[in-house]
Amino acid sequence: MAARELALTALLLLGVSLVVFVILNLSPGDPFSVLLEGQAPGHAARASVHEALGVPTTWYGRYLAWLGNIARGNLGTSIRTGVPVAGEIARAGPNTLYLTLGSLLVTLLLAVPVALYSASRAAGALARGLRLAVYLVSAVPVFWLGYVVIYLFIHRFGVFPLLSGSAEPARHGWLYGLLPIVVLGVANGTVSEVTRHLRGELGRVLTEDYIRTARAKGAPVWRHAFKEGFLLPMTEMIASKIPFVIGGAIIVEQVFNWPGLGRMVWQAAQDRDFPVIMGIALVAAAFVRLASLLRAVIYAGVNPRTATD
C-alpha cells in the first residue's frame, strides 16, 4: 500500500510540474529577457543567451532537462539571482510553514469552540449568533483585513515601525510575527466551512445509536464520539483546507512583506524566474499531498476497516 501511495505521489508531482511548466511556457515573456533588460532583444540575442546558458530551445526539451535535474535532487538555480533554488526554498520555507500552520491553528481555535458549542446547544441564541459571526468573518477578503490591520497597527497606533520583514523588528517583534497568522487564520475564507463541517459531523455522530449505547452504559460520551465526531472531521478539514491556506499565504506575504515562499513565488512570477516558480510549485504540491497522506494514515489508524477503501 505504501508503495502505491508513493507512486501516486510521484505521479501527482509529475503532473503538477508538467502543468505549471506548460502554463509558464504558454504565457508571454521569456525568463531570459531578464538578463537582457534595457535592451530590445532580437531573436538572435535570445538564442545566444539560451546557447550561452546551455538551455534547450524547445519547451519539452527544457522540461526534460528540468526533470533530469530533479531526478538528481537538483532544483536548479534562480535565473535572476543565480542562487540555487533549493537553498532559497529552504531559507524561506520555514517562514511559510510557520504562516500556514499557525494560521490553520488560528482557524481551528476560532472554528472548534463555536462548532462544539453549537453542536451541544443547537437551539441557543448565543450559538446562532456565534455561527453568524463566523460566517461574516469568513466573507472578509484576506488582503483587505491585512491592509486594515497594517493601517491600524503601524500607521494609526504606531505599535511598531514600518519595516521590511527581513530585518528583525526592534519592538513588539512577537506581535509582528503573530499578525499575519491571525489575519490569514481569520480571513482565509475557510472558518465558516470548518465550523459547519465539524458541527454537522459532531451533531450527526451524537445521534448515532452507538452514542446512545455509550450513554446507557454510563461511559463518557466524548470518549466514544471523539474519533468519528472530532478526529475524522478535523483531519478531513485540515487536509482539504491546506490548499486554500497556501493560496491565502501568497497574498498575506505580499501584504505583510513576509519573507516566505509566497512572496518569493510572486516575485519570481514577475521575473519569469521559471526554476524558482517550478521549485515552489513542487514543494507546495508535495505539502498538499503530505496532508492528504496524513489524512489517509489517520483514517486507517482509526479503524482498520477504512484502510481497505
- Chain contacts with other proteins (rule: CB under 8 A): 121, 123-124, 207-210, 212-219, 224, 227-228, 302-305
Quick one: 55 or 211, whose CB is closer to other proteins? 211
User: Rounded CA gap, 239 and 278, in Å?
Assistant: 23
Quick one: 224 or 241, whose CB is closer to other proteins? 224
Within 10 angstroms of residue 26's Cβ, the number of other Cβ atoms is: 8
H or E element at residue 179: helix 173-187
Min dist CB 126 to other proteins, Å, is 11
Min dist CB 296 to other proteins, Å, is 16
Min dist CB 129 to other proteins, Å, is 16
Quick one: 236 or 271, whose CB is closer to other proteins? 236
| Whole-Å CA distances, 214 to 58, 87, 198, 210, 253 | 66, 53, 21, 6, 47
Closest by Cα among 278, 304, 297 to 22: 278
Min dist CB 208 to other proteins, Å, is 7
Quick one: 168 or 209, whose CB is closer to other proteins? 209
The answer to whether 196 and 150 are in contact (CB under 8 A) is no
What's the chain's Rg over C-alpha atoms? 24
Quick one: 155 or 217, whose CB is closer to other proteins? 217
Min dist CB 209 to other proteins, Å, is 4
| Whole-Å CA distances, 130 to 51, 70, 133, 258 | 62, 48, 5, 31
